[in-house]
Amino acid sequence: MMKKLSYFPDVKSKALNQLSGHRACIYALGGPIGPYDFVSGGGDALVAGWKKDQPEQGQLIARTSGQVFALCTLPDKQLVLAGTMQGMLHWLPIGKGQPRHVQAHKGAIFAILPIGKYILTAGEDGDLNLWDVDTSTCSWQLHLATRSLRTLDYYASRNEIAVGASDHNIYLLDAEDFSIRHCIESAHDNSVFTVRYVPHTTWLLSGGRDAQLKRWVLADSPTVHQTVPAHMFTINSIAVHPSGKYIATGSRDKTIRLWDSEQLTLLKGLERVRDRGHAHSVNALRWLDERHLVSASDDRTLILWAIEA
């Protein structure tokens, strides 16, 4: 049973707007692109763009071939990339240009990560694929695990990629040659659903189906520094505040929790009744700036939050 965690009510939070328009669960969020502050995708196969100052005026960007599980935006190319449950990778231009559609994986695409002029995709087939943005072609492939690859993150100062997998492991790869620097075996008791580096530190955060939030110290050999029973059910998403001082976690238990990143002290919980939060699983989180957080849920809505910690 999860230990009761205290929180500090002086952290100010407010649900500014509940954004509707999707007709099914919302699984993915992407960053700013063109006129939009963020994009969303979900089980209705739609990709939509949103402005935080005009949240009621979401715009349809594209209809894809299936449920959208992963999103990535490339502002310099004016492209949105969407990965679907069927393994299709959609290249969606904002404005001029024709969309491109590629069968990228045998099974769902769970994560898309930009690195320079390339992007990485991680899939249900256990493959990590490297794509040339200009040609939409796969230039390299690594069969990394026998089970799904669920999450990706990149840390430029370490030139390193973190991959979380359903085999319970976290893989740390050299971003130059994609060799495996470390495999953290049994990092979680079940699937690793989210990994995030904390900027200006040597820390990696991870969350999984075991509802545990972990902080890893990345030295010669990665070691777990702290483990917190953070939620009642699966941790689907970790979002690191732009300052690196705070993190947000979203869970299948319908809540969002805000934490001090240094000590993993719980600062605030955002719930349905008290805070006008989500009615179902929180699937994705994204900081838009230092004061605004957006969340996506199985309840078919997005919530724009004002946070002051």
- What Rg value do the Cα atoms of the chain yield, rounded? 18
Span 90-138, pLDDT tens digits: 999 998 889 999 999 999 999 999 998 899 999 999 999 999 999 999 9
Phi, psi of 9 (to 5 degrees): -70, -10
Consecutive H or E run containing 209: none
Q: Name, in order, each residue with C-beta under 8 angstroms of 116's C-beta and a sequence gap of 6 or more.
A: none
CATH number of the domain located at residue range(s) 12-308 in this protein: 2.130.10.10
**Residue 151 confidence class, pLDDT cut points 50, 70, 90:** very high
pLDDT band at 7 (very low <50, low <70, confident <90, very high): very low
Helix extents (H) in the chain: 272-275
- The distance of Cα 302 from the centroid of its chain, to the nearest Å, equals 15
pLDDT of 4 reads 45
pLDDT at residue 1 is higher than 90: no
**Sheet containing strand 100-103, strands side by side:** 68-74, 79-84, 88-93, 100-103
Domain ranges within the chain, ordered by starting residue = 12-308
CB 47 within 8 A of CB 76: no
Does the pLDDT of residue 5 top 50, yes or no?
no
Q: Which range among 93-97, 243-247, 254-258, 277-281 shows the weakest confidence by mean pLDDT?
A: 93-97
Q: Would the pLDDT of 193 be above 80? A: yes
Q: Span 162-179, mean pLDDT?
A: 97
- pLDDT for 9 equals 52
Q: What pLDDT score was predicted for residue 10?
A: 65
Residue 152, pLDDT score: 98
- Tokens found for residue 230: 């953070």
Amino acid letter, residue 202: T
Give the start-end residues of each E strand in 3-87: 12-19, 26-30, 38-42, 46-50, 59-63, 68-74, 79-84
Strand partners, 224: 216
Query: Taking the C-alpha atoms of 305, 151, 130 and 124 in order, what is their torsion angle to the nearest 10 degrees?
Result: -120
When pLDDT is cut at 50, 70 and 90, the band that residue 6 belongs to is very low
